[in-house]
Amino acid sequence: MKRLAVLVAIFAGLGLLPLLVGSDFWLNAIMLALFSALIGQAWNIAGGYAGQFSFGHALFFGIGAYAVAVLQVDLGINPWLGMLVGGALGAGAGAALGWLTFRYGLRGSYFALVTLAFAEVFRILANSTPFTGAGEGILIKLNPHPAMLQFKALSGYYWLLLALTFACFLSVWWLERSRLGAQMLAVRDNEDAAAAVGVDAFAVKLKAMALSGLFMGLAGVFYTQRYLYLDPGLAFGPTQSVEALLVAIVGGIGTLFGPLLGAFALHLLGEAAQTALGDVPGANMVIYGTVLVVMVLFLPRGLASLGKAGLGKAGGRRQGLRRRKRRAKDA
Partner 1 sequence: MLEVTALTKRFGGLVAVDGVNLSLPAGGISALIGPNGAGKTTLFALITGFHRPDGGCVRFQGRDVTGEKPFRIARAGMVRTFQIVQPFAGQTVRENIAVGAHMHLSDRAEALARAEEVARAVGLSDRLDRDAADLTVAGRKRLEVARALATDPKLLLLDEVMAGLNPSEIRDVIPVIRAIRDSGVTILLIEHVMQAVMELSDHAWVLNQGRLIAEGAPRALAADPAVIEAYLGHGMAERLAKGAAHA
Which residues form the interface with partner 1 (CB under 8 A)? Answer: 177-179, 182-183, 185-186, 189-190, 192-201, 323, 326-327, 330-331
Which residue number, 201 or 246, has a Cβ lying nearer to partner 1?
A: 201
Q: Is the dihedral of CA 26, 15, 291, 51 positive or negative?
A: negative
φ and ψ at residue 21, rounded to 5 degrees: -85, 115
Residue pair 62/119 in contact by the 8 Å Cβ criterion: yes
Q: What are phi and psi for residue 139, nearest 5 degrees?
A: -110, 130
Q: Look up residue 73 and give its amino acid.
A: V
End-to-end Cα, the chain, rounded Å: 38
User: From CA 236, how far away is CA 171, in angstroms rounded?
Assistant: 25
For partner 1, the closer of residues 74 and 189 by Cβ is 189
User: Whose Cβ is closer to partner 1: residue 136's or residue 200's?
Assistant: 200
CB atoms within 10 A of CB 113: 14
CB of 265 to partner 1, least distance (A): 23
- SS3 of 229, please? strand
Q: Determine the residue type at 22.
A: G
Is residue 103 classed as helix, strand or coil in its secondary structure?
coil
Q: Between 17 and 182, whose beta carbon lies closer to partner 1?
A: 182
Q: How far is the CB of 308 from partner 1 (least distance, A)?
A: 12
CB of 185 to partner 1, least distance (A): 6
Which candidate, 127, 125, 165, 138, places its Cα nearest to that of 260?
165
Q: Are 79 and 228 in contact (CB under 8 A)?
A: no
The least distance separating partner 1 from the CB of residue 113, rounded to whole angstroms, comes to 25
Please say which residue, 125 or 322, places its beta carbon nearer to partner 1. Answer: 322
Total residues found in the chain within this entry: 331
Strands 229-230 and 138-139: antiparallel
Backbone φ/ψ region at 255: left (φ over 0), alpha (ψ -120 to 50), beta: beta
Smallest distance, partner 1 to C-beta of residue 130, A: 44
> To the nearest whole angstrom, how small is the minimum distance from the Cβ of residue 178 to partner 1?
6
State the minimum distance, in angstroms, from the CB of residue 104 to partner 1.
15
User: Considering beta carbons, is residue 114 or 175 the nearer one to partner 1?
Assistant: 175
Which amino acid makes up residue 116? L
Closer of 259 and 300 to partner 1 (Cβ) = 300
Nearest-5° Cα angle at 307, 305 to 308: 65
| Beta carbon nearer to partner 1, 113 or 182 | 182
Shortest Cβ distance from residue 135 to partner 1 (Å)? Answer: 46
